[in-house]
Amino acid sequence: MYGNDIPGLLGEVEAAEVALRAAADRQVGGREQAELGGAEQSQAYFDAVIDADQKVEPRDWMPDSYRKTLIRQIAQHAHSEIIGMQPEGNWISRAPSLKRKAILLAKVQDEAGHGLYLYAAAETLGVSRDELVNLLLEGRQKYSSIFNYPTLTWADVGAIGWLVDGAAIVNQVPLCRCSYGPYARAMIRICKEESFHQRQGFEILHTLAHGTQGQRAMAQDAIDRWWFPSLAMFGPPDTDSTHSEQSMAWKIKRFSNDDLRQRFVDMCVQQAGVLGLALPDPDLRWNEERGAHDYTQPDYEELMRVIKGDGPGNRQRMAHRRRAHADGAWVREAAAAYAKKAKP
Ligand code: FAQ
């Protein structure tokens, strides 16, 4: 049943892992000279590392704007993983069987782990996790738009796994080749885990699609509601993307928002066929000339509204996160007191 999922993407993760090891062995010369030299020499060393597809490491000089872009993107990604626990967490106590509950619990815990790897990667850039969490709580840093949509039925857990984790993988596999070493390494592990998440969502939908008429209708309704918000996860169209050009020049992003969105659409059409469910786009059709599907774009005005805080669930998500942060204060204090006591 899983045979046709994420075609080739896991292979790309494996290849990226091999490439990462090879990059670690490449030694573009001049780091010491760059450290001793002035701004020009530092920039030349940085450019040479990017050109050679070697990884930039925390010890290396990097332009301030490169560091800021990475902190912005990695932090937004980490916050998304943490806020992203809420829509599915909503269904842990109502999963339809013990097996489903155990699987969902493990998946939601994985998301917390992803948040942790990403905050740790961001910390190598000289910011603390506390600072980043505060920026989220103060509403000064974003998280993915997708997690502001509600999970109304059990089928939504399937749709999140299939479409949201599916979109996440398509977006994140190229990040395994990101020029910043700690982010690329975190992404390898995250993508391997995400592939299981995508499969469990696909399997939930497959079961519902082959169940009663009511279950099939519930699965279709979930896909109808999650399809366009999932397409919006890839960000604004290339013409409106503020960061893509520079991020691609720095090899942080490897493909544009629209290229990845197209890849996702093509992948989903084939998988929807296996599920026997429809994608809610009457204009979706194969374009022989382009060798890709034509499709209806998501509502980018809605995306901007959601990003700015006015989506269906923004207030609820942030209120919950702030409450959970306050409730966890005693744990952070106890851990800090224990660490202080344990110091020799
Ligand atoms: N939501 O110039 P661009 C997951 C912002 S997956 C919110 O194109 P960029 C797994 C963007 O930040 C979800 N904001 O930006 C999971 C920028 O704003 P700024 C997370 C968005 O960075 C599954 C502005 O719009 N994945 O969590 C969105 O080059 C299930 C202009 O946009 C990642 O974060 C959006 N959809 O490209 C967990 C992946 N789109 O900062 C639980 C890493 C754009 O200037 C359950 N991030 N914006 O104020 C990326 O690949 C990129 O940052 C993009 C955006 C592609 C998201």
pLDDT (tens digit per residue) in 298-324: 999 999 999 999 999 999 999 999 999
293, containing H or E segment = strand 292-294
Mutational test site, ligand 1, from 144, 171, 180, max ligand atoms within 8 Å of CB: 144
Give the distance (Å) from ligand 1 centre to CA of residue 1: 31
Give the distance (Å) from ligand 1 centre to CA of residue 344: 43
Q: Is 88 left (phi over 0), alpha (psi -120 to 50) or beta?
A: alpha
Q: Is the CB of 81 under 6 A from ligand 1?
A: yes
Q: Name, in order, each residue with C-beta under 8 angstroms of 140's C-beta and a sequence gap of 6 or more.
A: none
- Give the dihedral sign, CA 228/232/237/238: negative
Q: Is the CB of 256 under 6 A from ligand 1?
A: no
Q: Is the CB of 230 under 6 A from ligand 1?
A: no
Percent of the chain scoring above 70 in pLDDT: 97
- Give the dihedral sign, CA 161/165/170/173: negative
**Phi, psi at residue 112, to the nearest 5°?**
-60, -40
Q: Range with the lowest mean pLDDT among 26-40, 80-94, 214-228?
A: 26-40
Tell me how far apart the alpha carbons of residues 58 and 319 are, in angstroms, rounded to a whole number.
34
Which position has the higher pLDDT, 30 or 43?
Answer: 43
User: Mean per-residue pLDDT for 198-213?
Assistant: 96
Return the pLDDT at 2.
53
Tell me how far apart the alpha carbons of residues 12 and 3 are, in angstroms, rounded to a whole number.
16
Return the pLDDT at 4.
46
Give the distance (Å) from ligand 1 centre to CA of residue 234: 7
| Residue 290: half-sphere exposure toward Cβ, Cα within 13 Å | 11
Q: Is the CB of 232 under 6 A from ligand 1?
A: yes
The two structure tokens encoding residue 136: 């989220």
Closest atom of ligand 1 relative to the 232 alpha carbon: 36
Query: Could you give the domains of the chain?
Result: 56-342 (1.20.1260.10)
- The torsion defined by the Cα of 225, 231, 232 and 238, in degrees rounded to 10, comes to -160
Minimum CA distance residue for ligand 1 atom 50: 73
Q: Does the structure show a pLDDT above 80 at 29?
A: no
Minimum CA distance residue for ligand 1 atom 53: 73
Return the pLDDT at 6.
57
The band of 3, judged by pLDDT with boundaries at 50, 70 and 90, is very low
The per-residue pLDDT for range 72-91, each reduced to its tens digit, is 999 999 999 999 999 999 99
Q: Taking CA 256 as the corner, what is the angle to CA 253 and CA 262, rounded to the nearest 5 degrees?
A: 130
Distance of CA 309 to the CA centre of its chain: 19
Return the pLDDT at 1.
52
Distance of CA 322 to the CA centre of its chain: 22
